Copies of this chain bind each other. A is one copy, B any other.
């Protein structure tokens, strides 16, 4: 049944094998079928889907995939001599890792959108691709349909990147946007996100920042050519963000967002990296502040290029499939012409600084007894730890007051020491919220 399949290289037909046919896979098949005219016209290659590996071959998939293309044999698909390019969309670490390594060893370019795998075994995969002299492309692994990996690797190939900060998880951005615009609680906003299909029944991976941390690791790896895995990324989720934090942020001219941050610390040979995911108060006029709902955006700061932001749909079958297809066409053209695309090569080892050694501004709320000398006592603790206060607001009535502080830039370790000591003051009833702040320096 594969006898009539055209050979690679003749008439520009590239034969594609797809591992996995869920949301993204079926959208990809749909796009390849419906956009043949565009793909042929722009690239000069014809994509033919010759194998699609699925769990159940009997499931109805409309008219998009011929039944004889379906298989449950993933290893067979990779090894099939009629498959020129492999698209991996099954996700997770194994068997995806082994399948990708096998394909690369066979000289077959691989397209993947597998963030989990890249955030744990990226360095191994990049080296395998380099050794085999084969394309490994993964635009879809971060921020779905947004072109990010290609701009970082190619458009900014000659640029010294200082920092990348991104809204890379649509679920949490949807929740925070609801909390901001509709003044709902975290619990209500999460329930609404689940009802609309933006959050899963078990929302842990999203709301605790695991998904964003994997993407932060990939971004840091590409932006700085360094080995960064998900577990290197400092991580806090959004479950502690309260409606009153959101409202206090608004009063102060900020919006709260969950950000993935990857930044260079220091310069030259001895430079290190910081990679982290946590809620951040972003100035209301910052481009990231207006990224609403389930949209994603990545803000890049470079030495020469200044500020750059890439905004769009960070998830969903169709947008993600567009990213996969862009990579697939690239790999197919390279295969057809005997060329290779941009390579990552060997990721270098760079020190990753602990969160204690990061500098930021901070928002901190304290409930205190409303009596003379309280502010002096608290300010004394801040000063002792070299944390300078930028603004303080006092709210509340009767015997208790609510203090809202925003600090100037300070070391995280100093801020933590401040909080720890302030907590023990007799006049402090409760340490409320603590959120990092992006100021004009960032």
Residues of A within 8 A of B (CB): 27, 31-32, 35, 38-39, 41-44, 139, 145-147, 150-151, 153-160, 225, 285, 287, 289-292, 295, 297, 302, 304-313, 316, 318-319, 321-323, 325-326, 328-330, 333-334, 337-340, 342-343, 345
Name the distance in Å between A338's Cβ and chain B's nearest Cβ.
7
Can you list 22 pairs linking A and B with CB atoms under 8 Å apart? Answer: A31-B159, A31-B304, A35-B158, A35-B159, A38-B158, A139-B155, A145-B306, A145-B308, A147-B156, A150-B154, A151-B151, A155-B326, A156-B322, A157-B325, A158-B322, A287-B290, A287-B311, A295-B307, A307-B312, A309-B309, A337-B339, A338-B339
Contact A306 B310 (CB under 8 A): no
Q: A325 — nearest CB in chain B belongs to which residue?
A: B158
Residues of B within 8 A of A159 (CB): 31, 35, 38, 322, 325-326
User: A39: which of B38, B158, B289 is its contact (CB, 8 Å)?
Assistant: B158
Name the distance in Å between A184's Cβ and chain B's nearest Cβ.
18
Known contacts A287-B311, A337-B339; can you find 20 more A-B pairs with CB under 8 A?
Answer: A31-B158, A35-B159, A42-B157, A43-B157, A145-B304, A150-B154, A150-B155, A154-B326, A154-B329, A156-B322, A159-B326, A289-B290, A290-B290, A304-B318, A304-B321, A305-B313, A306-B316, A309-B312, A310-B311, A338-B339
User: A323: which of B155, B310, B328 is its contact (CB, 8 Å)?
Assistant: B155
Given A285-B292, A311-B311, A313-B306, verify A158-B319 contact (CB < 8 Å): no
Contact A326 B158 (CB under 8 A): yes
Residues of B within 8 A of A27 (CB): 304
Contact A306 B302 (CB under 8 A): no
Name the distance in Å between A268's Cβ and chain B's nearest Cβ.
9
CA distance A342 to B337 in the complex (A): 11
Contact B290 A158 (CB under 8 A): no
Contact A307 B313 (CB under 8 A): yes
Name the distance in Å between A7's Cβ and chain B's nearest Cβ.
21
